[in-house]
Structure 1
Amino acid sequence: MYGGYFGLFVNMLGEEGERWDMFRAFDRQLPKMEDLDKYDGFVVTGSKSDAHGNAVWILELCQLLRCCYQMRIKVLGICFGHQILSRALGGKVSRSSAGWDGSMEKDCIEFNKYCMVQVTEIPCGADIIAFSNKTEIEMFSMDDHILGIQGHPEYSSDILFNLMDNLCNEGILTEEMVKKAKNSVEQYNNVYEREIWQQICKRFLKYTII
């Protein structure tokens, strides 16, 4: 309906003249190690899978992310990407003791989030740069080429509502949980602040920080 994760992120971050490639990590489709230096950066999106799992593709992705870090290639991780990036570089992730978190977090700037897994410990040398009442590590950075964000700057409220309804229909969420989450999003949703989050992601990927 919304172009898939690839479409969402290219629409959010892409600019004329750029080339974006898609790799389906869960199908064990990853760039070759010898081709990594051909890319200016990578974005690891959300996933239905748990970042603390040990499926072969997850372990292969972790290895790839470690190589990107060593080569100082920029990596932006969103939700699952945030979690797997932390794990790959020595941090820890686990299922949230509070269960599903579907809300519009009101931090310094607001953003959509919908998750059940969270980063519990950042890698050695990383910095926590955002937190909330529900999640101690909403964002972390490492040097100038690693950025992890727990929330979903690519999600509009329509996308989030559609996701909630699907999870409710599948019996994963209750109607009461969905109602509460939707109320949170409707109360705090701010298109302007969502654009700020998108600009944070774009500037991280495209500009050199000195």
Structure 2
Amino acid sequence: MPGLPLRIAILECDTPLDGTRSRYGGYGGVFTALLQAGADALSYPGLSASSGLELSTWDVVNQADSYPDLSSIDAILISGSKHNSFDNDPWILKLVDFVQAILAQRRVRVIGICFGHQIVGRALGAKVDRSDKGWEASVTAIDLTKRGQEIFETPSLALHQMHRDIVYNYPEGIEALAYTEKCAVQGMYAARRLITVQGHPEFTEEIVRELLIARHGSGVFDDAMFEDAMGRVDKYQDGVVVCKAFLRFLLEE
């Protein structure tokens, strides 16, 4: 590594709601759409939506004994989840162990999204827990560190958010990429090893609308929170910008 094709194992840590599942099949399908869009936008020789990506999907919740062999992949991408990254369910502990094993070697690389970002933090010994500042939901402005501006090639980001759990501190040797008022650890980076974001570059307006309506209906979001988030759900967000950074990370010599 690097080289093409990029063999990425997408670890599905949750099942989408009905509307999203009917359109994409699962979060593997959601991330496939994002990675293909990022590949088309990157303008890298041999890499596009139709060539240079070799994607596989692994349900690590319901088929917890099924994990990719590291010799057959170049990277893992850990999805978001409704589950708590700090819980000790057997499948979560196995996922943390798997990530630790990958981080102990130097070839296969790690991408983490939301829950996946938190799992990487946990695997590296950071505190992961419920935030005392509450939920971040829908399109949210994100400040970037100087390193974050270099990695994402933009002065700031806007991404969909859907979390109330956070990584509390940057692990030793990990570069800080991004932050918001409610979440100081929005992105982590170590060259040729890992890149993570707390936000959801893979989410679309339709996916987030469905989540907001469901969580409002079940009482997770009160009226004020729901209305605020719905008011931002159709705003511009930088999912493809972030995905391009993921691909550049995977291609980095």
**TM superposition score normalised by structure 1:** 0.89
Find out whether 1:89 has 2:137 as its counterpart: no
Mark the runs of 5 or more structure 2 residues left unpaired by the alignment. 1-18, 37-48, 143-155
Give the corresponding residue for 2:35: 13
Give the corresponding residue for 1:161: 209
Question: Which deviations, in whole Å up to 9, do the C-alpha atoms of 1:138-170 show, x marking residues without a partner?
Answer: 001123220110000001122111110011122
Give the corresponding residue for 2:252: 208
Find out whether 1:117 has 2:136 as its counterpart: no
Find out whether 1:41 has 2:85 as its counterpart: no
Distance 2:131 2:138 in 1: 14
SS in 2 for 1:23: strand
Q: Within 5 A, what are the aligned runs for 1:141-152?
A: 141-152=189-200
Greater helix proportion: 1
Question: Which deviations, in whole Å up to 9, do the C-alpha atoms of 1:88-108 show, x marking residues without a partner?
Answer: 121111101122221322131
Distance 2:115 2:70 in 1: 21
Q: Within 5 A, what are the aligned runs for 1:48-59?
A: 48-59=82-93
Mark the runs of 5 or more structure 1 residues left unpaired by the alignment. none
Distance 2:118 2:61 in 1: 15
Distance 2:158 2:220 in 1: 25
Q: How many residues align?
A: 203
Find out whether 1:171 has 2:207 as its counterpart: no
Give the corresponding residue for 1:196: 241
Give the counterpart letter for 2:74 in structure 1: D
Question: Which deviations, in whole Å up to 9, do the C-alpha atoms of 1:98-149 show, x marking residues without a partner?
Answer: 2222132213121111101011012221111111122101001123220110
How far the C-alpha of 1:62 sits from its partner, in A, is 0.7
Distance 1:198 1:42 in 2: 14
Give the counterpart letter for 1:7 in structure 2: G
Question: Which deviations, in whole Å up to 9, do the C-alpha atoms of 1:150-208 show, x marking residues without a partner?
Answer: 0000011221111100111222212221101122334xx215x3321222223223x11
Give the corresponding residue for 2:67: 31
Q: 1:141 to 1:30 in 2, by over 3 A?
A: farther
**TM superposition score normalised by structure 2:** 0.75
Give the counterpart letter for 2:157 in structure 1: I
- Contact 1:76–1:148 (CA under 8 A) maintained in structure 2: yes
Distance 1:41 1:58 in 2: 19
Distance 2:207 2:67 in 1: 29
SS in 2 for 1:160: helix
Distance 2:192 2:100 in 1: 15
Name which of structure 1's ranges 175-184 and 42-51 shifts more when overlaid on structure 2: 175-184
